[in-house]
């Protein structure tokens, strides 16, 4: 199975555009990380150990134990995930096997 740099099969991609001005850009990183590091999101996508800012995006490398079809079903049905998507409608979920790097 193909994986990203840190062995994660999935990455969550969000635009790197804070909705408000932060003196220190790392503050926005921590806001996003805290939003993702919740029990509801961990239940769906797993945990992340690493994230990085690339171009105008931030990539969170997710360590899920779920299969792709199971994950897609959860994303469709889980209320925590739906709220997260409403908060960040521009997010993308990418699988390492689909992304050429």
Exposed/middle/buried for residue 2 (C-beta within 10 Å: 0-12, 13-18, 19+): exposed
pLDDT at position 97 over 70: yes
> For residue 2, is it within any domain?
no
> For residue 23, is it within any domain?
yes
Q: Tell me how crowded residue 42 is: count the other CB atoms within 10 A of its CB.
A: 16
pLDDT tens-digit map of 15-29: 877 666 777 777 778
**CATH number assigned to the domain comprising residue 65:** 3.30.70
Total number of domains in the chain: 1
Per DSSP, the three-state class of 85 is helix
Distance from C-alpha of 23 to C-alpha of 18, rounded to nearest angstrom: 11
* Residue-range definition of the domain harbouring residue 26: 10-96
> For residue 61, is it within any domain?
yes
Q: Measure CA 82 to chain center.
A: 14
Distance from C-alpha of 46 to C-alpha of 63, rounded to nearest angstrom: 5
Q: 51: part of which helix (H) or strand (E)? A: strand 47-54
Please give the pLDDT value at position 24: 78
Please give the pLDDT value at position 101: 61
> For residue 69, is it within any domain?
yes
pLDDT tier at 6, thresholds 50, 70, 90:
confident
Please give the pLDDT value at position 46: 87
Please give the pLDDT value at position 19: 64
> For residue 5, is it within any domain?
no
> For residue 89, is it within any domain?
yes
> For residue 19, is it within any domain?
yes
Check residue 20 and give left, alpha or beta (phi > 0: left; psi -120 to 50: alpha): beta
> For residue 33, is it within any domain?
yes
pLDDT tens-digit map of 29-84: 888 888 888 888 888 888 888 888 888 888 999 998 888 899 889 889 999 999 99
């Amino acid at each position: 199975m193909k994986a990203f740099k840190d062995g994660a099969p999935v990455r969550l991609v969000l635009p790197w555009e804070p909705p408000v001005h932060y003196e220190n850009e790392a503050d926005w990183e921590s806001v996003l990380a805290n939003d993702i590091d919740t029990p509801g999101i961990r239940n769906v996508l797993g945990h992340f150990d690493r994230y990085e800012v690339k171009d105008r995006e931030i990539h969170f490398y997710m360590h899920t134990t779920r299969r792709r079809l199971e994950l897609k079903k959860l994303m469709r049905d889980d209320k925590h995930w739906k709220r997260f998507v409403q908060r960040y409608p521009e997010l993308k979920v990418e699988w390492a096997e689909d992304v050429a790097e």
